[in-house]
Each structure stands twice: as C-alpha cells, then as structure tokens.
Amino acid sequence: KARERHLSEQELRAFWERVQALPFPKKEIISLWILTGGQRQQQLARVQAKDIQEVNIPDRDGFTKGMEVIDTKGRTGRERKHFVPLTPKSKELVDALLVQGPFIFSTTGQEGVEPNWFGRQIKPIVKDMEAAGELENGSFTAGAIRSTVETLLGKYGVSREDRGHLQSHGNSGVQAKHYDRHDYAG
C-alpha cells in the first residue's frame, strides 16, 4: 500500500524542534535518521563505525564522507551496498554517537536499535504535537519521515533520480548493474 502521509515543512520543523529537546542519544539518532534522508530503519540498525568512509567525488573538490548501508530490500533479496553522503551536521552526530561504541544507530553502542525503535520514540512526540495543534493533517508514523524527506527534496529541485539513489529506490536493474557507474554521492 502506498504511503500518502508526509509532513508539511511547518510540521517537520515542529517535529525537529521537539526531537532537539530529547536526551542523548535519542536526539542524535533521530536527527541523524532525518538528515541522512529517512533511510530504512532496519538498515540503519546495522551501520557501524567501519561503514563510515570517505570517497573521492570526481566532480567535487576533494573527498566526501558518507556511510555505507547494506540494502537487502527488493525482489532479489541480495545485499547491495548503498552509499549515503553525510552533511557536516550529520558527521557531528556520527562522531557523538561513536563515543558509545561501534554501532551508530544505537542507544548503547553495542548493538543497533531494533526496527520498531524509531516508531516507539516518535509516538509520544506525535501525541504532543497533536495536543499543541502542530499537525495540519493528523497523526503520522515513522514511515512518514521517509516520505517527507523525498517530498521536500523534490519540492526543492532534487531530481527524482538523485532522490531515488539517496533512498535506495530501484537501483538494481540492468542499467544500474551494467551501465551506470556514477556513485551519486556528490
């Protein structure tokens, strides 16, 4: 079933402000999830320090730091490496979370958060937003964050192809496998 709910910019801003009031490491984990494009939660739970790397982007000056996410979603079920570039703020959050241990999306550093962790964390925030009249279109779930990121990036001119690569949508066909060698990290 296709998701129809996404947050408006105003709703996302209110959500972001409430996330910033959370204690460590919840604030950092949820902020990083949003800033990395609303990646699939199950995949983020596996990301470790060893998955943070720098890549040389030919059409940019120097190197870009990013995280490598293992994507198992899709018809084949095979693992595929998916590179997610990190903004300066994202790099700060990664560094803060790595103080705990090798797992980045973790409350202890020793193991990744379980897949429904994000949903449990945002439920009380959504209730508070509802009570404060900050939601224009009613309640939302963790899945709406992913849709929101994609929708807002499109609104601000990021191409469908680049959004697809950021969120690892359908990047496994003949074109990607045999012909398209661009790494989309830039």
**C-beta atoms surrounding 138 within 10 Å:** 8
pLDDT at 48 over 60: yes
pLDDT in tens, 130-139: 999 999 999 9
Could you tell me if 4 and 136 are in contact, meaning their C-beta atoms sit under 8 angstroms apart?
no
Between helix 143-155 and helix 9-20 the angle, nearest 10°, is 130
- Burial category of 50 from C-beta neighbours within 10 Å (exposed 0-12, middle 13-18, buried 19 and up): exposed
Among 9-23, 48-62, 89-103, 139-153, the range scoring the smallest mean pLDDT is 48-62
Per-chain mean pLDDT for the chain: 82
3-class SS at 121? helix
pLDDT in tens, 126-183: 999 999 999 999 999 998 998 888 888 888 897 888 767 666 655 444 334 433 334 4
Q: Which residues contact 138 (CB under 8 A, 6 or more apart)?
A: 5, 130
pLDDT at 41 over 80: yes
pLDDT at 2 over 90: no
Mean pLDDT of 60-77: 67
Q: What is the pLDDT of residue 40?
A: 83
Instruction: Determine if the pTM surpasses 0.85.
Output: no
Between helix 9-20 and helix 117-131 the angle, nearest 10°, is 110
Mean pLDDT of 18-31: 97
Q: What is the pLDDT of residue 26?
A: 97
Could you tell me if 152 and 166 are in contact, meaning their C-beta atoms sit under 8 angstroms apart?
no
